[in-house]
Structure 1
Amino acid sequence: MIKAQVVIIGGGAMGVSLMYHLINAGWSDVLLVEKNDLTHGSTWHAAGLCTHFAHNPTIQELRATSVRLYRDILPRETGRDCGFHRSGAMRITRNPDRMDEFRHVAGLSEFTGYPLEVLTPDRIAELFPLAKLDGLIGGIYEPDDGHVDPTLATHAMAEVARRGGARIIRNCAVTAIERQQDHWRIETAKEIVETTHVVNAAGTWGWEIGHMMGLNIPSVPVLHQYLVTDTVAAVSSRIKEGLPELPIIRDPEESWYVRQERDGLILGPYEKDAKVWSVDGVPPEFGADLMPPDLDSVEHIIMAAMERIPALETGGVKSVINGPITFTPDANPLIGPAHGLENAWILTGSSMGVMEGGGAGWFLAHWMTHGAPPIDALAVDSRRFGSWADRDYRVAKAVECFGLQFGVHYPHEERPAGRGLRLSPLHDLMVKRGAVMGAVYGWERPNWFSNTPGAIADESFRRANWFEPVAQEVEAAHNRVAMADLSVFSKFDVTGPDVAAFLQALGANRAIPPGRIGLTHALTPAGGVLSEFTVTRLAEDHAYLTSAAAAEQIDHDLLTQVAKGFDVTIRNVSEDLAVIGVMGPKSADVLPELSHMPWLTAQEIHVAGFPLRALRVAYLGECGWELHVGKEHAVQLFLKLEEIAKTHGLGFYGAYAANSMRLEKGYRGWGSDLTTERSPLEAGLTPFVRKDLREGLAWDNEWVMVLLEVEAGEIDPFYAHTVWKDGLPVGIATSGAYGHRTGKVLTLAYLRDPTAREGLTISILGQDRPATILPEAPFDPENSRLKTGGSK
């Protein structure tokens, strides 16, 4: 019997990085068990590419942290380099939309401090003279990118961790995992281990280890191959001339990457029709093994790469690497707490395990030792997929993500695979009324409504085909009445004698009194916003909490944790209740039995003969109600209300209209404007923080959130745009849209220099646009329409 504070299962780059960072954080009793040997699985056969290119600042920071670790820190700690080559990297394109994407990522990187260079064709030729320029319109250059030897880097981390007291047991397959009272019991081929914490860092085996833990890990091994050429004369000549190593080059449109490997080249293709492998369990004997080459399936990509880089054809194929890498449904890693389990953690699912592994270990080590992630976790949180992410879903999405490894990431992107898993009772009604659906946490929800049957949204960085329809939705909600299906909310009933004390402990606000509605924000130990709940106090002993759809597992875990020590029961009713929104100045005419209800009050009442929870609350800034009704009554209730509403000029609205209207009110959105990185005071939510917390906590209020009016242009802001003052990046936009009621282009942004009040500009796809801080919400700042039913 062995005992440890933490057991990490898996000895690839991710698991070893976590071991290294936990030791650095002061944990000494760290044990790693590995089925075969360190790096077996996907780490050893990885091409070792390292990049700073990312659409999300958290993913970018994981990658940048990996580069610093491999390039600077580990060589200093071990006295040996990790084979890191700072070659730089570039992406090239002939697609105008791709250039928009490049400009967006370059704009984000100006704020995060990892500047990237947008390229002209002439600059491409200067950086990579072996490439033909035919058809190219530009690219992007990542000067600090490079490649590393995955084996050297992993063993360097292991060496430093061992020095600090970490233990590693090789050739030790895990056979069973069981939760026993206050610890985990792990059976292995060699030992039985008792541990406080268990971490699934099993990579290719992540699904199987998750199954032992009682979890559904939505990752799938997918076969990826790359070929290594023999000597390429053009490369050999450069070496003899003393020229620098060629930068890594990627052509997203043709779906390949090329990097220099000594005096040859490596070519890595990503075919559209990916081959999943061992979906339901990896063969027991599999270790540092490869599949036979299958170059026929990628021949067209190889030919395209040779057309772009003719020197490739001169080298001949020296070897072909064909092995499994894991893909999640969104191609981001799974990092964080395991849903519903105590002291269980996930660190797996990365298709870029070496590229992200150094940073991923740092990220999870901070979460485990500080009780919260170091930066916003939503893009990687292991709970962003639920039990609905079944086998068919994870396979379909893995194939899609592999095929779109180099796909353009549009700001309102909706991908088609794995759809239709969670349907509101009102789904079919919405589709018949023209809803164009989006997906959030497995749910289908209306994004906007079209008069054209079968309409789909344009993919664009500029105003798309839904701009005018959304304007019509806003007009209906502003002047008449609009209905919506809001059923995707996460919903929880909290009952019991300690409800008031529970609510006081849950968030920063005071406990909401019976009959009232309020907001409360659950905080991290450092004071960041972990979750946002709309709290409806239905009775002294009954609170009804709603939150973002994507937060369902995160919030369920949080509520369960806070409930310890209180006499309350938590019940997830997300699937049990549908939500109908009835909004606009004529909404009271549609719901006369509710017209007596003041703003921010709630009642359990019958409407049109159906029992429901009526909430006088509206995210749009208009008079309105949310009607939370049992799913068995939802369709009949909707149809009855729709008939009444037609006489008052009925319209419908979706998520895009709601986003436009909430920005006109300056309302913050969880997951974009509200994250664990910023406190509610920094987010401008001081009225929702009770006085004792404001005074009793050492708030680090270095940032301030502002609502900006941006000079109108051909592109509306969306997120991750850098805010500038006097040539310096002083802030970052977190959300944005065109406000159809006010005619203003609006964005919420955090300024890390709170004194920067004048002379601001915001960079949107390379365009600098003047931005002015608005002192109050541009639409109905007195809330008169919310309070009085929309009368002016």
Structure 2
Amino acid sequence: MTLNAQVLIIGGGAMGVSLMYHLVKAGWSDVVLTEKNDLTHGSTWHAAGLCTHFAHNPTIQELRATSVRLYRDILPEETGGTCGFHRSGAMRITSNPDRMDEFAHVAGLSRFTGYDLRLLTSPEEVAALHPLARTEGILGGIYEPDDGHVDPTLATNAMAQVARAGGATILRQNPVRAIRREGGHWMVETLREVIRARHIVNAAGTWGWEVGHMMGLNIPSVPVLHQYLVTDTIPAVAGRIAAGLPELPMIRDPEESWYVRQERDGLILGPYEKNAQPWSIDGVPPDFGAELMAPDLDRVEHIIVAAMARIPALETGGVKSVVNGPITFTPDANPLIGPVHGLPDAWLLTGSSMGVMEGGGAGWFLAHWMTHGAPPMDALAVDSRRFGAWADRDYRVQKAVECFGLQFGVHYPYEERPAARGKRLSPLHDRMLARGAVMGAAHGWERPNWFSDRTGDEAVPTFRRANWFPHVAREVQTVSEAAGLADLSVFSKFEVTGPDARAFVDALGANRAPKVGRVGLLHALTPAGGTASEFTVSALPGDRFYLTSAAAAEEMDEDLLRARASGFDVQIANVTESLGVIALMGPKSRAILSGLTDADLGAGFPWLGVREITVADIPLRALRVSYIGELGWELHAPRADCAALFDALEAAGRPHGLGLFGAYAMNSMRLEKGYRAWGADFTTERTPAESGAGPLIRAEGRDFVGREALARRMEAPDRWETVLLAIEADGVDPFYSHTVLHAGRPVGVVTSGAWGHRTGKALALAYLRERGLRDGLSVSILGRSCAATVLEAAPYDPANERLKA
């Protein structure tokens, strides 16, 4: 028997059932969910059910907030029942000054997103909210009054009840045996029938890797065992209940790595040990469903002891039960949500270590994406394509262990975590290390963040001014006074050829294809007019185009290019691995380069030009572009030739005072020019015009995805705008997600920021959701209100004289 479906969801946990619920709500028909065992089996059923609004990213915060609204308000109204949601509130406490900075940053972001997170600045405030907690050594914390906990099984079954009433089909005890693509549909063999589906969604959670394997994928997720213990009656808790006092707020101590919440007249204690225990890495046992592992409290005894010291009442209740079961971790602990790279009509909704906490919102998020062709918010933190083929078995295991151990780690700006590094190395990697590069990771690549003159130097994480500040200042000075080399090989790179190459690129986005020999920026849009991708497009002779984009966008941009090439006679090649890129920038760059080539580097090679030339006997593509506001070139050469090219450039530049610069210096200099960055300042949420790229839009006489929505939004009275701010930050350099205030009201958010070394200004790009605001602006940075001035022109070389020199 063959069952036809518009969409087949594989997995009946909170994530998959939430998607089923939201697709039905969105009007989808023939929605089918198949579950290996029963709903909630795997990890949902044994989850502690914690729900929070605390998050460092607006999208993650919205997933969590949407879940709370769904469980607390919407589902009880729709079903007439309850999801067992307790609005207990929650707090996080700390003895770590850096953690207080983190709390201040999250509380500041939440002013913009509209969620109530309150900074606690004294032990007394902590004690007033949680009378069972000892506060010795505590600096303060953060309080989330709308947080709570839910019964995972009640919540999942409530979503299933509404979805079934709307026509969805749920197949229980029906494991998937095989998956194949046939005739434009997915054919899924299950225990009971073959399901023919237009769309397929891997929401298998604990079994996500296995279902992905059937799809031909290597899902970067790993089940990791997590324990929590439930106490018997605790007299202090029972006494509060008898006195009619409200439920205790959940409390987390991230420094000691535990959480505690009230469970009837007892408590639940959940520890996260640093040395995580991966489980069934390459396949879950076939008979596993709603089982648990034997308790292993020896692994977490030290954390339990610390929790008892902080909450002495824990010692007065015996251990009633211990839950030891798998939860799933991705390499960054965020869920995998969105399209599958390279496969049509295939989606992921899996890998969440917070499946109940994020599940209600995650289903809404993906249902919107599947329905409208774009996510409802910026998806970069959760996009299923943020990991590539380089995220192999070792990577996913090592990163899962790291993420579990850092479940309560401080999330610093510019954080670089050490596990599973070195997956993708540029052809200049050894040379960069030999010259003092302190590396960062970008989509698996190792790239120089900054350069040190001390062997073994590393970045010291902080929310304040970092130890690399003077090193970056030196790099910027070298580039602005002489010249600098940078390894930009991490760029994503694509070649478009064929008879329809120009027509294809011309129809790709809001900006026309450049003329032959020229370089332009092109923004591909979502159907709603937001910015999906940003390409630097070089037009070469012979109907050839060379497109580069951000490292993290590689899989997303390849999918976009191939999807939009339908109907055009073109060939698209991903040449990311085969080409390296060396940037030569600075006022002496022409003098240096001219010693290695016979090519005309003057009038015959204007700004925003592209030429195929020979440098040091190496044929390459030279682009006269600069993201830092100085005269310069990007040299794109075959990987095998990059080392020799670098050596020649370095030797030729030595008499001119040539140096090296990294990503942090580049970020500082690009902000001094007001240049936007994809993934930070350009996102799917805002149009290119709102992001400040309005002058580049050339919509007339062309049809492209998002054209009508773009035109409509460009005229909308509630459209946003991007401004460049100079901030009086007093030594705390801005970075991202600071709330912008006007007369004390939240009116915008910082998307990126840094100290501008050439201009001596703290700079930030920010979205304002109220256009035209200029006077009375400030930025909330780590709990302080810092005056901000809108700069109407770039503070560095506003006339572009240095670029065009």
* TM-score (structure 1 length as normaliser): 0.99
Name which of 728, 750, 772 aligns with 1:755.
Answer: 772
**In the aligned structure 2, how far is the partner of 1:589 from the partner of 1:267?**
66
**In the aligned structure 2, how far is the partner of 1:42 from the partner of 1:115?**
29
Alignment match, 1:619: 627
2:545 corresponds to 1:531: no
Shift of 1:89: 0.2
Alignment match, 1:729: 746
**In the aligned structure 2, how far is the partner of 1:505 from the partner of 1:339?**
22
Alignment match, 2:115: 114
The CA deviation string for residues 745-784 of structure 1, in whole angstroms up to 9 with x for no partner, is 1000000011322100000000101001001111111111
2:762 partner SS:
strand
The CA deviation string for residues 693-731 of structure 1, in whole angstroms up to 9 with x for no partner, is 788831246100000010141211100000011121000
Alignment match, 1:698: 712
**In the aligned structure 2, how far is the partner of 1:745 from the partner of 1:92?**
31
Alignment match, 2:344: 342
Q: Which deviates further from its counterpart, 532-541 or 17-26?
A: 532-541
Name which of 678, 688, 693 aligns with 2:696.
Answer: 688
The CA deviation string for residues 638-694 of structure 1, in whole angstroms up to 9 with x for no partner, is 101100100100110000000000000000000000000000111111121104278
Aligned residue identity for 1:130:
L
1:209 partner SS:
helix
Aligned residue identity for 2:682:
L
Alignment match, 1:265: 267
2:647 corresponds to 1:639: yes
1:136 partner SS:
coil
Contact residue 7 and residue 30 of structure 1 kept, 8 A = yes
**In the aligned structure 2, how far is the partner of 1:525 from the partner of 1:428?**
43
The CA deviation string for residues 227-265 of structure 1, in whole angstroms up to 9 with x for no partner, is 000000000000001000000000000000000000000
Which portions of structure 1, spanning 4 or more consecutive aligned residues, are displaced by more than 4 angstroms?
693-696
Aligned pairs for 1:359-398 within 5 A: 359-398=361-400
**In the aligned structure 2, how far is the partner of 1:245 from the partner of 1:767?**
33
**In the aligned structure 2, how far is the partner of 1:566 from the partner of 1:376?**
29
1:224 partner SS:
strand
Alignment match, 1:52: 53
2:640 partner SS:
coil
The CA deviation string for residues 388-423 of structure 1, in whole angstroms up to 9 with x for no partner, is 000000000000000000000000100000100100
1:632 partner SS:
helix
**In the aligned structure 2, how far is the partner of 1:662 from the partner of 1:314?**
59
Shift of 1:133: 0.7
Aligned residue identity for 2:164:
R
2:679 corresponds to 1:677: no
Aligned residue identity for 2:72:
R
RMSD: 0.9
1:165 partner SS:
coil
Contact residue 722 and residue 731 of structure 1 kept, 8 A = yes
Alignment match, 1:471: 473
**In the aligned structure 2, how far is the partner of 1:778 from the partner of 1:66?**
43
2:191 corresponds to 1:177: no
**In the aligned structure 2, how far is the partner of 1:763 from the partner of 1:99?**
15
Alignment match, 1:715: 732
Alignment match, 1:67: 68
Contact residue 226 and residue 267 of structure 1 kept, 8 A = yes
1:464 partner SS:
coil
Contact residue 116 and residue 146 of structure 2 kept, 8 A = no
Contact residue 436 and residue 448 of structure 1 kept, 8 A = yes
Shift of 1:215: 1.0
The CA deviation string for residues 568-612 of structure 1, in whole angstroms up to 9 with x for no partner, is 100000000010110000000111135231110111111010011
Contact residue 510 and residue 699 of structure 2 kept, 8 A = no
**In the aligned structure 2, how far is the partner of 1:630 from the partner of 1:46?**
51
Contact residue 499 and residue 540 of structure 1 kept, 8 A = no
2:567 corresponds to 1:553: no
**In the aligned structure 2, how far is the partner of 1:540 from the partner of 1:664?**
37
Aligned pairs for 1:372-771 within 5 A: 372-592=374-594, 593=597, 594=599, 595-596=601-602, 597-692=605-700, 697-699=711-713, 700=716, 702-771=719-788
Name stretches of at least 5 consecutive residues in structure 2 with no aligned partner: none
Alignment match, 1:329: 331
Aligned residue identity for 2:364:
W
Q: Which deviates further from its counterpart, 319-328 or 750-759?
A: 750-759
Contact residue 730 and residue 756 of structure 1 kept, 8 A = no
Contact residue 207 and residue 218 of structure 1 kept, 8 A = yes
Q: Which deviates further from its counterpart, 687-696 or 136-145?
A: 687-696
1:582 partner SS:
strand
Name which of 776, 796, 799 aligns with 1:779.
Answer: 796
The CA deviation string for residues 347-399 of structure 1, in whole angstroms up to 9 with x for no partner, is 00000000000000000000000000000000000000000000000000000
Alignment match, 2:289: 287
**In the aligned structure 2, how far is the partner of 1:697 from the partner of 1:741?**
38
Aligned residue identity for 1:20:
Y
Shift of 1:540: 3.9
Aligned pairs for 1:203-222 within 5 A: 203-222=205-224
**In the aligned structure 2, how far is the partner of 1:514 from the partner of 1:200?**
44
Aligned residue identity for 1:46:
A
2:54 partner SS:
coil
Alignment match, 2:142: 140
**In the aligned structure 1, how far is the partner of 2:447 from the partner of 2:772?**
40
| Number of aligned positions between the proteins | 788
Aligned residue identity for 1:275:
Q
1:762 partner SS:
strand
Alignment match, 2:257: 255
Shift of 1:181: 2.3
**In the aligned structure 2, how far is the partner of 1:714 from the partner of 1:407?**
25
The CA deviation string for residues 474-500 of structure 1, in whole angstroms up to 9 with x for no partner, is 011101010010000000010111111
Alignment match, 1:95: 96
The CA deviation string for residues 442-500 of structure 1, in whole angstroms up to 9 with x for no partner, is 00000000000111001000111100000010011101010010000000010111111
Aligned residue identity for 1:642:
E
2:131 partner SS:
coil
Aligned residue identity for 2:89:
G
**In the aligned structure 2, how far is the partner of 1:756 from the partner of 1:533?**
31
**In the aligned structure 2, how far is the partner of 1:342 from the partner of 1:66?**
29
**In the aligned structure 1, how far is the partner of 2:486 from the partner of 2:693?**
27
Alignment match, 1:306: 308
**In the aligned structure 2, how far is the partner of 1:505 from the partner of 1:192?**
40
Contact residue 88 and residue 250 of structure 2 kept, 8 A = yes
Aligned residue identity for 1:42:
S
Aligned residue identity for 1:719:
Y
2:246 partner SS:
coil
* TM-score (structure 2 length as normaliser): 0.97
Name stretches of at least 5 consecutive residues in structure 1 with no aligned partner: none
**In the aligned structure 2, how far is the partner of 1:623 from the partner of 1:123?**
55
Aligned residue identity for 1:780:
D
Contact residue 712 and residue 744 of structure 1 kept, 8 A = no
